[in-house]
Structure 1
Amino acid sequence: MIGRLQGRVVSESPDGMVVVDVAGVGYEVLVPLGTLGRCAPDAEGRVTLQVVTHVREDAITLFGFSDDRERSAFRLLTAVAGVGPRIAVSVLGVLPSGELAHALARNDVKKITSVPGVGKRIAERLVLELKDKLTGLSSGGVGAVITAGALTSPMSPVAAVGPAAALVAALVNMGFKAPEAERVAAELAPRMGEGLDVLVRESLRRLVR
């Protein structure tokens, strides 16, 4: 099993798939949105990912995380019935481990259901089963919007709930400033039903033009 990779990221796609070159071998790794922004490259441009190797009968998939805390949160999430590894990655892409812990501690089902693919039933199950287990992963103040500290104030009303909140969180975790993310979320308000992946791709197109 692969538990850790250190190498250069040679490609990345909006769906979270990155290719990490380790000594000339390219490993495809699926990471939550914002993971690479939290991985500080070393002097040679290499990043380190903590990895979970997921083995199925028809596929072997590598899931990568910026640190052990995120990886531990992933393992706890996938231990909950109805939460597969891809849903767990989606959760951590919108709610990094510290913010997820805060949401669970507050029984904030509404915030958890802002993650695409997570309905009320699964959100309630996460609160029930993980509320106490994730406490140790919490960091920062309860009022923080993003645990990495990228946001220092609450979101504006247009981006406070639902798909807009998920989009803003994803963009901030990718390294964009909160005002930029909220501006794009406001521009895309009529398209909020199109899915997070589509919204992220369109946001990136607008932000980097």
Structure 2
Amino acid sequence: MIAPALRRAALAAALALPPAALPVLAPPVLAQSPAPPPGAEEEEPGDPAAAAPAPADLSAGPRPSEPMEVANLVLAPELARQHAGGWRLSGRTGLGEPDHGSRLSIETIGRYLANQSTGRVTVIAQVSGPEDDPSVARRTSLARAITVKASLVRGGLATTRIDLRPMGRTPEGLDVIDILAPPAPRPKEAAAAAPAPRTAPPASGAPRPNPAPRGG
């Protein structure tokens, strides 16, 4: 640090004045940070990059897969989509007497099942009566199921893929028809059903492998 007398002499030499004519300059006071109170410990700033990431929460088990639902097709009011994988027909359609709009909706379902599914489709028909004649009730439910099957076939679904289940009169006592879509194939089943790739025949000039010699 330069003494006040030396600074005065340097300044006087620069201004060509006698040193006694210059005022006495006090040494500069440096600002100091306040001292921490006694007993307080200084905390070092933490490095956010050095903080370890929180471990993954493995306490919760894996989420179960949800059942596959059928497509949300635009259908007539008497056709309702079921979460179990199918459609329920009620009203006049459940009685086997669908109007023009309901028939077109059933054909739309048949076209969808023909293009987007594999396996067999089940048509389940149940009636509300007669209560005292199970044979007539069963024949009535069969006739209603056949009507729905015909509309599915017109939509493009193969008749060999449709199974009919005429239930007759059930304890529910409802006049409804259910169209159940086939379950989704498992990955192994889908891979087994896929056709095997065909190998290209060898070129005409390529040598053919010699057959293995037979044992004598």
TM exceeding 0.5 = no
Q: Which structure: greater strand fraction?
A: 1
The answer to which structure has the higher helix fraction is 1
**TM-score grouping bracket, smaller chain normalisation:** under 0.3
TM-score (norm 2): 0.21
Q: TM-score, normalised by structure 1?
A: 0.22
Flag the structure with more relative contact order, 1 or 2, with Cα contacts below 8 A and sequence separation at least 6.
Answer: 2
